[in-house]
Amino acid sequence: MSISLRRALLALGLGSLSTLSALAGDWPQFRGPNGSATAPDAATLPQKISPTDNVIWQTRIPKGISSPIVVGKRIFLTADRDGKQFTLGLDRATGKVLWERLAPAAKLEKIHSIGSYAQATPAADSEIVVAFFGSSGLYAYDHDGTPLWHRPFGPFPNEFGAGTSPLIVEDRVILSQDHDNGSFLMALDKKTGRTIWTTDRSEFPRNYATPVIWNNAGKRQIVVVGTLRAIGYDFDTGREAWTVRGMSRIVNMSPLIGPDGTLFLPAWSPGGDAGERIDVPPVETMLQTRDANGNGALEESEVPNGPLKDRFTQLDRNKDGKISADEYSAMRKIFQDSKNRLVAVKPGGSGDITDSHVLWEQSKALPYVPSPVFAAGHLFFVKNGGLFTSINAKTGTIVKSERIFGSANYYASLVLGDGKIFALSERGHLSIIQASGDWDVLSQAKFPDDALATPAIVDGRIYLRTQSTLYCFGIAKENE
């Protein structure tokens, strides 16, 4: 390994030589090594892929929107079949399904209309794979599918379901869950599933950003972005080390770390842009004019049509069927204080670093769900409708923002390999884009069914999941 590559990986929070070795040739979690969305090698990738171009193999799989991960000789993913949830282990070379294990749920939680009971992406290392299902909890298996342990969780109080993915970091499993109540960050022992520490996050309602590990000036921290603020937690204790205030109402995009250690925090949700902000009356006004039964709270029938009724279940955080004065005032403050923006944060801070360590901010062209990727000194984003944008990572200035193939919504995050960015829409539109500030589209293709999972890229292979099929693409090698 070159010194420059090792330094870049260290900046991404991958601190020890043993960790670096374990990641060589693997895509071990959501968006790859430490959520970088970047292939861990320099292998050549095809410039065009499609259902008929550069296909190494393809395998029919059950539905699900969790992303594939690749570790050792295995591919792992989760799936839902006839209302039952499974973890699957596949052979990396052939795509053959080697095993599947049921995750029994006594009661399935509610999910979004475009969601799935198989939403969270598994995580794995050379020893175990962990899969998380909101309705029944966290499951650990060895690579051959032998059950190791199970920690029950859920169902969670959130009709969109549980989507944040677990991480494995050395001897720990890291699990962050933000829901309308009972939110937490937890570290578990990888071998036993026992709790090492738990940090209360009840301040935060529903969010879906998967954490990253940041080596912040020699201190290893778990970065979680949530409603109104981002937090860096001490890896060993779970204590809050720093915060950046001024984030969006709901956060779906995961944070990203640049090769120089700069932390990028993206956050956008509806009703947070200038000119489109959600503004609701004070609670006193609402109770005076709408509380028909005089119980000091608001039932759904008492709430007028509009942003409040549309979000009634989000305001009703304790799920008692009505919005209390405190619940209403708390959400009104979130509406008022939320900011849709991308911020760059320099390392070295502690406490409230909003004013001292934020280098720049950008509020335009930000998506709701798909996370960005870093390449060639730029950040790249894709938002619904296919608006693809490059942003200078040093200044926050937009360099180029244009439409790409497919005007559908985008849920899969961007991924990078061999100087190519892969953007996949919900309706199966794929664009392969040159990774430069003044980017160009290299090729495009259409898949026959929907796609919400983020592809994995490793060892010259692209693993792309649609609702019916897992594809492996690459340039065929001799004797393959």
Q: Is residue 160 one of the residues assigned to a domain?
A: yes
Structure tokens at 122: 């598994």
Spatial contact of 264 and 247, defined as CB atoms under 8 Å apart: no
Q: Is residue 278 one of the residues assigned to a domain?
A: no
Spatial contact of 34 and 213, defined as CB atoms under 8 Å apart: yes
b/e per residue 296-312 (b: at least 16 CB within 10 A): ebbbeebbeeeebeebe
Q: Is residue 207 one of the residues assigned to a domain?
A: yes
Task: Say whether both 310 and 368 belong to one domain.
Answer: no
Task: Say whether both 39 and 138 belong to one domain.
Answer: yes
| Residue 334 φ/ψ, nearest 5 degrees | -60, -45
Give the model's pLDDT for residue 355.
97
Using CA atoms, how far apart are residues 52 and 430, in angstroms rounded to an integer?
A: 13
* CA-derived radius of gyration, the chain: 22
Q: What count of other Cβ atoms lies within 10 Å of the Cβ of residue 210?
A: 26
Task: Say whether both 332 and 190 belong to one domain.
Answer: no
Using CA atoms, how far apart are residues 220 and 31, in angstroms rounded to an integer?
A: 20
Pairing mode, strands 172-177 and 184-189: antiparallel
Using CA atoms, how far apart are residues 114 and 160, in angstroms rounded to an integer?
A: 9
Give the model's pLDDT for residue 19.
38
Pairing mode, strands 398-403 and 172-177: unpaired
Q: Which residues pair with 128 in a beta bridge?
A: 142
Give the model's pLDDT for residue 191.
97
Give the domain-ending residue among 318, 337, 356. 337
pLDDT digits (tens, 9 = 90+) for 167-191: 999 999 999 999 999 999 999 999 9
User: Which DSSP state fits 220?
Assistant: E
| Residue 46 φ/ψ, nearest 5 degrees | -65, 150
Strands (DSSP E) contained in 47-183 are 55-60, 69-71, 74-81, 84-91, 97-102, 123-124, 128-133, 137-142, 147-151, 167-169, 172-177
Give the model's pLDDT for residue 5.
42
Task: Say whether both 81 and 170 belong to one domain.
Answer: yes
CATH number reported for the structural domain that contains residue 287 in this entry: 1.10.238.10
Q: Is residue 213 one of the residues assigned to a domain?
A: yes
CATH number reported for the structural domain that contains residue 454 in this entry: 2.130.10.10
Q: Is residue 480 one of the residues assigned to a domain?
A: no
Spatial contact of 74 and 100, defined as CB atoms under 8 Å apart: no
Q: Is residue 275 one of the residues assigned to a domain?
A: no
Using CA atoms, how far apart are residues 226 and 21, in angstroms rounded to an integer?
A: 32
> Taking the chain, what is the end-to-end CA distance rounded to the nearest angstrom?
27
Task: Say whether both 195 and 126 belong to one domain.
Answer: yes
Using CA atoms, how far apart are residues 220 and 19, in angstroms rounded to an integer?
A: 13
Task: Say whether both 49 and 82 belong to one domain.
Answer: yes
Q: Is residue 276 one of the residues assigned to a domain?
A: no
Task: Say whether both 28 and 136 belong to one domain.
Answer: yes
Q: Is 439 exposed, middle or buried (0-12, 13-18, 19+ CB in 10 A)?
A: buried
What are the angstrom distances between the C-alpha of 321 and each of 297, 298, 313, 316? Answer: 10, 9, 8, 7
Structural domain boundaries enclosing 296: 283-337
Give the model's pLDDT for residue 263.
98
Using CA atoms, how far apart are residues 292 and 368, in angstroms rounded to an integer?
A: 36
Q: Is residue 212 one of the residues assigned to a domain?
A: yes
Give the domain-ending residue among 291, 309, 337. 337
Using CA atoms, how far apart are residues 185 and 198, in angstroms rounded to an integer?
A: 6
pLDDT digits (tens, 9 = 90+) for 105-151: 999 999 998 999 999 999 999 999 999 999 999 999 999 999 999 99
Task: Say whether both 291 and 322 belong to one domain.
Answer: yes
Residues of the chain with pLDDT under 70: 1-24, 478-480
User: Quick one: which of 245, 244, 219, 224 has its CA closest to 234?
Assistant: 219
Structure tokens at 397: 């200035």
Task: Say whether both 322 and 351 belong to one domain.
Answer: no
Spatial contact of 405 and 427, defined as CB atoms under 8 Å apart: no
Segments in 207-344 forming alpha helices (H): 283-290, 307-310, 312-315, 325-337
Using CA atoms, how far apart are residues 267 and 347, in angstroms rounded to an integer?
A: 19
Residue at token pair 């979004």: 112
| Number of independent structural domains in the chain | 2
Give the model's pLDDT for residue 480.
52
In the three-class reduction of DSSP (H, G, I as helix; E, B as strand; rest coil), residue 398 is classed as strand
Using CA atoms, how far apart are residues 354 and 247, in angstroms rounded to an integer?
A: 11
Structure tokens at 352: 């409230």
In the three-class reduction of DSSP (H, G, I as helix; E, B as strand; rest coil), residue 73 is classed as coil
Residue at token pair 């954490």: 211
Task: Say whether both 216 and 152 belong to one domain.
Answer: yes
Task: Say whether both 35 and 107 belong to one domain.
Answer: yes
Task: Say whether both 7 and 72 belong to one domain.
Answer: yes
Spatial contact of 220 and 347, defined as CB atoms under 8 Å apart: no
Instruction: Give me the count of residues in the chain.
Output: 480
Give the domain-ending residue among 319, 337, 355. 337
Does the pTM surpass 0.75? The reply is yes
